[in-house]
Amino acid sequence: MPADAIENNDLPSSLEEFGLSKYEGRAYLTMLGRGSLAASDLAYYANLPRTKVYQTVKKLEKKRLAVVSKQKPLICSAIPPEEAFGEIVSLHERRVKNMQKIVERLQKLSDEGQRPRGSEERRYFILDADSALSKVASLIAGARSSITGTIDAWGLRLLSQCRGQLVKAATNGARIRLIAGTQCVGSEGLFSLPDGIELRMGDVHSNVMMIDSAHTVSIDSSNGKAALFASLDAYAGLQSKGFEEAWGKATEVRHVLEAEPAVAAKALELARAVDNGLASHMLEYAVNSEDPSTGLLEVMEKKYGIKLAGLGAPEMLELVDSALKISCAGGLKHDRSNNILSLHSKAEGKHVLPWAVVLASYFRKAGNDARIMQGKSSPQLVHLRLSGPIA
């Protein structure tokens, strides 16, 4: 049996979807295939009982699927399918659309029911690298009150391309504060930033900038793409709080810029190690009057990755001097005539005794005995008397 014949055999049952009975479906299909027919011919070709044919065509006429002549013999003609069923199809399409809308509303209710109470959905935009640069430049140029940000080497390169916009923001009265990662030490980008920017160094692993507390931009260093958030939400509050905490712990950048990049990087590393627990080891040696020359240097190398044994004395003094400037705005002075090293701090609560222990450990290991003396005039001043001159 041909495929079209099989499909046609399915049509009578398919017409039941439109509300036609078995006899009505046969009659309608016969009239479509053979054209206008007398009632007796329709009964013959559609295989309808003669007692049912008049009742069937009247029902088709009532359903606006057929036209029946008024004179005898009755001639029956099918109305074209698109005209006959078009209104029914449109009605069902409208019903389906309405049902879809109802399902969407129900799904929305379901989603809201599963969402934690008190929560609010917010949207953000993903920008490609070119769009990120353009958007950041635009936001900076329009800043009126504040710009804060943590930047790594990628972020520094991006901001160095926004120099004009940074100048405009500063001219408009915006306070600009940036924390650059230690990986930026020695980068020309630091020197290309315009005057008027408050810049500090810290432990930075991401690029996040907030402009006027209205927009937050997070930039991916691996590909330059950025996420743009409206800042009037909890996320922005957390970012702002995190920045203020990082700002308080960050180092004044002018002390870093004054030193050679290699020395500054190592001084930053040493200063962070002291702040992150190394000081407690140093004070333990000092309080117990133990010789730290071997144990402390070993702890510094194994736990913190800081190697001092290979440094010459002038390099060591320069390193500690830079570290004191970075950590507590202090410094180191060398009285050559009396073989005395003086360490001082200008920051409240930042003691220099741990640094004196570092130097004592270094020189004792080098065979130059060192004795720590607390300054009488200030607790922020410590002297280190060496047994011999520094070679």
pLDDT 10s digits, 2-12: 334 334 567 77
Give the pLDDT mean for 24-31: 90
pLDDT in tens, 236-275: 777 888 899 888 878 777 666 666 777 777 787 777 777 7
Contact predicate 177/198, CB 8 Å = yes
- For residue 164, what pLDDT is reported? 93
Give the pLDDT mean for 117-123: 66
pLDDT in tens, 343-384: 888 777 777 888 888 888 888 888 888 888 886 777 788 898
Higher pLDDT, 277 or 330: 330
Higher pLDDT, 78 or 203: 78
Contacts of 253 (CB under 8 A, 6+ apart): 180, 190, 199, 200, 201
Compute the distance between CA of residue 296 and CA of residue 281 in angstroms, rounded to an integer.
7
Contact predicate 385/373, CB 8 Å = yes
Higher pLDDT, 233 or 141: 141
Given a cut of 90, is residue 147 above it in pLDDT?
Answer: yes
Give the pLDDT mean for 98-117: 84
Phi-psi region of 30 (alpha: psi -120 to 50; beta: other; left: phi over 0): alpha
Query: Sheet containing 340-344: which strands, arranged edge to edge?
Result: 331-335, 340-344, 381-386, 370-374
- For residue 192, what pLDDT is reported? 81
Contact predicate 192/221, CB 8 Å = no
Compute the distance between CA of residue 139 and CA of residue 125 in angstroms, rounded to an integer.
14
E strand or H helix at 52? helix 50-62
Given a cut of 80, is residue 162 above it in pLDDT?
Answer: yes
Give the pLDDT mean for 83-88: 83
Compute the distance between CA of residue 123 and CA of residue 359 in angstroms, rounded to an integer.
54
Contact predicate 226/127, CB 8 Å = yes
Percent of the chain residues past pLDDT 70, beyond the cut: 86
Contacts of 355 (CB under 8 A, 6+ apart): 274, 320, 323, 324, 343, 382
DSSP 309-377: TTS-HHHHHHHHHHHHHHHHS-EEEEETTTTEEEEE--STT--SHHHHHHHHHHHHHTT--EEEEE-SS
Residue 138 phi/psi, 5-degree rounding, is -65, -45
| Residue-range domains of the chain with CATH | 3-79 (1.10.10.10), 128-253 (3.30.870.10), 259-386 (no CATH)
Given a cut of 80, is residue 329 above it in pLDDT?
Answer: no
Using pLDDT thresholds of 50, 70 and 90, give the confidence band for residue 234. Answer: low
| Token pair for 208 | 């996040």
